[in-house]
Structure 1
Amino acid sequence: MGRNIFKVLTRRKTDSDESTSEMARCLNLVDLVGLGVGSTLGLGVYVLAGSVAKTVAGPAVCLSFLVAAVASAVAGLCYAEFASRVPKAGSAYVYSYVTVGEFAAFVIGWNLILEYVIGTASVARGLSNYIDALAGNHIRLGLRDFAPMDINFLSQYPDFLAFAFVILITALLSFGVKESSLLNNIFTVLNLLTVCIVLVSGSIKATTKYWNIPSSKVPIGYGTGGFFPYGISGVMAGAAKCFYGFVGFDAVATTGEEAKNPQRNIPLAIMISLLIIFAAYFGVSTVLTMMSPYFDQDSDAPFPYVFDKVGWPIIKWIVTSGAVFALCTSMLGAMFPLPRVIYAMAQDGIIFKPLAKVNAGTKTPIIATTLSGLLSGFMALIFDLDQLIDMMSIGTLMAYTIVAISVIILRYQVDEDKPHLQQHESSKHSNVYNGFIEIFNLNNNKEASTRTSRITNWSIIIYSIFTALLAAIIINATEPIFTEPFYFVGFVVSLGALFILLAVIARQPAVDPQLSFKVPLVPLIPCLSVFFNLYLMLELDLHTWIRFIAWLVIGLLIYFFYGIQNSEEGKKLRQPNKLQSLDPEKAAMRKEDTKL
């Protein structure tokens, strides 16, 4: 019974390239780059740079963005390879379904829904706060008096303006992907022009003296001055926060059924988007901290404040107007992938099938889009910006982790069309010495088998466990590592285990797929991505984990009471005509999978 359940949970999607799509292929490379930049370049550049500089990293915030960009680029490389492998809607959900199995895919898809819902709601709330700040906070004060909400874990007032923004974007996305993409491109161009205005005008007023402020002139509570007022630890803590600024490029990967030539254009769009976004963040954070002392930044709206301070009110209003358009673009980009993930999961039958209905006129998943808007609008209505941002990262980081693991699994996965390799291996390697030779492939075996694939899979699982242990020690016991033997031994053992497991994976015979884009330096790059992502996940607070677990429980109830019985993959396994087309050995295996 337990074995049958395991086989059902790990059944994989087998027709990722065979089925036709009802959605229109109308997005070219420019559209995809515009979507990636537009969905990412929002709150990060207009709010995050100032707030992180003020209280976390100081002028070294530009280095925090660099570290966050490296972590995002590593994840982006893994996304790019999978986009060239699996040109379907659904992003990491489909990738994990093809490689890891149905249950892992559901968990990832469910958390991607959380990511995009929270992302849309947080940008809507940020846009509402930005407009409210320009209006002298009259909207906030009025709503607080009209409908106060005195609940600790909710906002102080219902933000009807943010709700209205989400509903407006929902209506726009319902009209059609090409129309919404055109508007997104226009807003993205305005966004980039605003960033250029900041860089050019800000550089005129920039001076390096604000990077060398002595500690005697720094207010109490704002570090020690200089370029690293909060030390290297501040740079790393800032990187964890700045990572939020790069969340969104994976929206490009959800357009597999609407992109022209997805195997080529999606990987290119991901990497080009990340380069543009990093250049904008690095330049803006550099100029911002050279125009005004880091401790004198405005955490909510840094640009209007700093340009007002230097006596340029015209630039202030130009930048403020551009910021409003940028946040609109970011909200559009954040919500764009949400109905597509829901559509992909519903089409596979693991969530409610009616959500996969595509409107004949607009060629969009209309029911999924409407549900996405209502859910995102409700979240924006009752939660404030800080709460939304805290809830967002965990789903993203888990998705990035599974994608990186899936890259390794596929690179070392046995070719199922060679069953003789599986039969040959079972009689070998019965003692410890031979097992050691096999694990490190000292015989220089060049052809992957079921056994070498299994060694790789177990190695990456154990690698993830030791990565989590090492990250926990670094985060929670930085100082005692070199003073207390318990932490020191844990640190050394965990670090040594990571290098050994990396060597074990690298020694296994790999499969060389013919793809338009492949991650270089496998398994090093994907393993680095796993480390970065798990480290940042453990940086999240307890309340974020509690909310995440509650969301996950709801999803698991849906899967076990609906999805597991209505899965399209499960239905195919139960169809006799499908089984007859298989050879007898595979047919017997498929029949056993259906016995739950």
Structure 2
Amino acid sequence: MGLLFHFSKLFRKKSLKYEDLGKTKLARVLTLLDLTLLGVGSTLGAGAYVLSGKVASQTAGPAIVVSFFVAAVVSVLAGLCYAEFGARVPRTGSAYVYSYITIGEFVAFIIGWNLILEYAIGTASVARAWSANFDSLVQFKISHTLNSTLPMNVPNLAEYPDFFALGLTLLLTALLIIGVKQSSTFNSVFTVINLLVLSYFIICGFFKADAKNWSIDKKDIPPGVDGGNGGFMPFGISGMLSGAATCFYGFVGFDCIATTGEEAKNPEKSIPISIIVSLFIVFIFYFGVSAVLTMMSPYYSLDSEAPLPKVFELAGWPVAKYVIAVGAVLIGAIFPLPRVVYAMAEDRLIFGFLANVSDKLKTPINATIVTGILSGMTALLFDLTELVNMMSIGTLLAYAFVAKCVVILRYKVKAFDTEMIVNESNQGPEMNSDSHSEPFTFKELFRPFTNMPSKRTEQIVIVCSLLLSLCTIILNVLLIYKEKDLNKFGWVTCLLAIFCIIILGLGIIIWCQPQNPDELPFMVPLVPLFPEVSAAINIYLMLKLPNSTWVRFAVWMGLGFFLYFGYGFWHSMARKDNTTSKYLPISEEDDPEDTS
């Protein structure tokens, strides 16, 4: 019984009082424009300056434009889910807070721990990308000097310590400590510069573009060069999809907008709008950059470290590399990291001193310093190729959980298992909180006895959604590891057909159940279709990543479990909190005043 008691505590939920939704120790100063530029600044970074060359030359070839499109679709579906939660819960912490309220503490910790990994690696990769671009401006003197004087011949570490990337990360950390509005202004300025630089590359690059580079014959590939089979998709559909899994990293960062729930003005409306707008802007630029890059040069000859300045140098425009080098400084990459740490520390799932907020600056100062040092050391020491894949696993996992949370919440009797407060003028029909008294029948799966959610319909949705996820995992495993058997009829194709039918049936059952009638400023359309498709694609992309990445991911999660069961489980605020939560989306009239 004791073991079962402790197991049940893993799923205790964060209480959320209506009167506390608008309260915050942080300064509520960010506008819709600030949030949009923050999303673009957090996302449109190393994906354009580094990944475009690496994926095109090694994984997808010219089909990188399709890889970016697939990654964009996955990100938009995930973005819609984040947008709905941003409207529901305007609190700092992003997917961590969303899952804590809906699923439970243990899942929330897993997501929060992975968000820390995501943002730390994202910050380090942007710093190293700018360092590589700057190094190319000085004829690689920095890398040559450090390689000869301080070489690091250790597996999975960088060839040399990148002190320039460390310094840049610490500088951005100092700006975050000064204040959210100041750092947001700095981010906005450099985001605009970044957009202008990439626009310059796209426009000028088209004058040097040659469409023949999208249809290179295999016999024209130089001997000893791994160029696949040539053509638009030289590494096949599998290579294009593997490229999509890596390109997905280029869209990581939009979820940082969801971490600003306590610093945004009118967060219920500004967060959803800024997420969708920023993703659209980012895709347009990624598509343009990758298209121009692969038409300016054969895909197999692209530089994997600094492709943009290098391709212009080969095209006879060396001056362009000086313009491109200034575009990758982005404070948005590090902005959400201390916010997630602050949210977890405030709940005491990690050490409480990280939740301290400066009375003068209104910023989580301890969390900012610690995470800045963590990101800086990552940029200094590690080879980011494998770490980027690790980050993708954590991000995809968070996206899948958020999508599932959207489905579960839509069909719950009460959004957060709490008393629902509604305005009398907007009060809808009373929902059935008790299970139906009659015995369960198969007919209820497709024709429920009630038009409002009940405990029974809620349980049907949860069970069907879990079964759908299990079937999706099996289906994806077959698609990935039995790809060669798909061209012929056999047991693999039969299993695929069976699981597709089961998944379709489970989706129809969920669709038939009554949804919660509560209205929000933004709601994901076509639930459960969009969230379930988003979760399925996220699972597929996770399984496409290398096995070595899963091993490193397991090590990171092992460290997290040690911290949670050694500290967080026993010190959690949810363990001490016995209050009844209340929830209602904040109206514009109820917005707290600016505390800056």
Please give the TM-score of this superposition, normalised by the length of structure 1. Answer: 0.90
Distance in 1, Cα, partners of 2:157 & 2:210: 42
- Given the superposition, is the C-alpha separation of residues 495 and 143 from structure 1 closer, same or farther in structure 2, using an over 3 Å criterion? same
Q: What's the offset of the Cα at 1:17? A: 4.3
Q: What's the offset of the Cα at 1:6? A: 3.9
Contact 2:448 2:512 in 1 (8 A): no
Alignment of 1:131-280 (within 5 A): 131-220=134-223, 221-280=226-285
Contact 1:65 1:242 in 2 (8 A): yes
Contact 2:457 2:513 in 1 (8 A): yes
Q: 1:563 matched to which residue of 2?
A: 568
Distance in 1, Cα, partners of 2:217 & 2:353: 63
Q: What's the offset of the Cα at 1:277? A: 0.2
- Given the superposition, is the C-alpha separation of residues 306 and 566 from structure 1 closer, same or farther in structure 2, using an over 3 Å criterion? same
- Given the superposition, is the C-alpha separation of residues 347 and 9 from structure 1 closer, same or farther in structure 2, using an over 3 Å criterion? same
Q: 2:590 matched to which residue of 1?
A: none
More displaced 10-residue stretch of structure 1: 188-197 or 212-221: 212-221
Contact 1:422 1:451 in 2 (8 A): no
Q: What's the offset of the Cα at 1:242? A: 1.0
Contact 2:49 2:129 in 1 (8 A): no
Contact 1:108 1:399 in 2 (8 A): yes
Q: What's the offset of the Cα at 1:407? A: 0.1
**One-letter amino acid matched to 2:467:** I
Residue by residue over 1:492-526, the C-alpha shift from the partner in whole angstroms, topping out at 9 and shown as x without a partner, is 22222211111111111111221110000000000
Residue by residue over 1:457-513, the C-alpha shift from the partner in whole angstroms, topping out at 9 and shown as x without a partner, is 111111111111111111111011344734233322222221111111111111122
Q: 2:324 matched to which residue of 1?
A: 319
Q: 1:587 matched to which residue of 2?
A: none
Distance in 2, Cα, partners of 1:423 & 1:60: 53
Distance in 1, Cα, partners of 2:296 & 2:147: 35
Residue by residue over 1:303-345, the C-alpha shift from the partner in whole angstroms, topping out at 9 and shown as x without a partner, is 21221222222223222333xxx2x21xx21211011001111
**One-letter amino acid matched to 1:556:** F
| Pairing 1:464–2:463 present | no
Q: What's the offset of the Cα at 1:4? A: 2.8
Q: 1:57 matched to which residue of 2?
A: 60
Contact 1:116 1:338 in 2 (8 A): yes
**How many residue pairs align between the two structures?**
565
Distance in 2, Cα, partners of 1:572 & 1:228: 56
| Pairing 1:119–2:130 present | no
More displaced 10-residue stretch of structure 1: 212-221 or 162-171: 212-221
Distance in 1, Cα, partners of 2:315 & 2:157: 37
Q: What's the offset of the Cα at 1:63? A: 1.4
Distance in 2, Cα, partners of 1:410 & 1:126: 40
Distance in 2, Cα, partners of 1:212 & 1:550: 42
C-alpha RMSD of the superposition = 2.1
| Pairing 1:44–2:47 present | yes
| Pairing 1:8–2:9 present | yes
| Pairing 1:401–2:400 present | yes
Contact 2:152 2:158 in 1 (8 A): yes
| Pairing 1:103–2:102 present | no
Identity %: 49
Higher helix share: 1
Alignment of 1:522-537 (within 5 A): 522-537=527-542
Secondary structure of the corresponding residue to residue 150 of structure 1: coil
**One-letter amino acid matched to 2:436:** E
| Pairing 1:446–2:447 present | no
| Pairing 1:360–2:359 present | yes
Q: Structure 1: where are the runs of 5+ without partners?
A: 583-596
Q: What's the offset of the Cα at 1:444? A: 5.5
| Pairing 1:381–2:374 present | no
| Pairing 1:425–2:463 present | no
Contact 2:245 2:542 in 1 (8 A): no
More displaced 10-residue stretch of structure 1: 9-18 or 199-208: 9-18
Distance in 2, Cα, partners of 1:208 & 1:147: 43
**One-letter amino acid matched to 1:43:** A
Contact 1:166 1:373 in 2 (8 A): yes
**One-letter amino acid matched to 1:437:** K
Distance in 2, Cα, partners of 1:150 & 1:316: 30
Q: What's the offset of the Cα at 1:3? A: 4.3
Contact 1:115 1:392 in 2 (8 A): yes
Distance in 2, Cα, partners of 1:534 & 1:60: 22
More displaced 10-residue stretch of structure 1: 152-161 or 484-493: 484-493
**One-letter amino acid matched to 1:550:** V
Q: 1:437 matched to which residue of 2?
A: 443
Q: Structure 2: where are the runs of 5+ without partners?
A: 421-429, 583-596
Please give the TM-score of this superposition, normalised by the length of structure 2. Answer: 0.90
Q: What's the offset of the Cα at 1:422? A: 5.0
**Which of 481, 491, 499 in structure 2 is aligned with 1:476?**
481
Q: What's the offset of the Cα at 1:281? A: 0.6
Alignment of 1:498-517 (within 5 A): 498-517=503-522
- Given the superposition, is the C-alpha separation of residues 305 and 111 from structure 1 closer, same or farther in structure 2, using an over 3 Å criterion? same
**Which of 546, 554, 557 in structure 1 is aligned with 2:559?**
554
Secondary structure of the corresponding residue to residue 321 of structure 1: coil
- Given the superposition, is the C-alpha separation of residues 175 and 390 from structure 1 closer, same or farther in structure 2, using an over 3 Å criterion? same
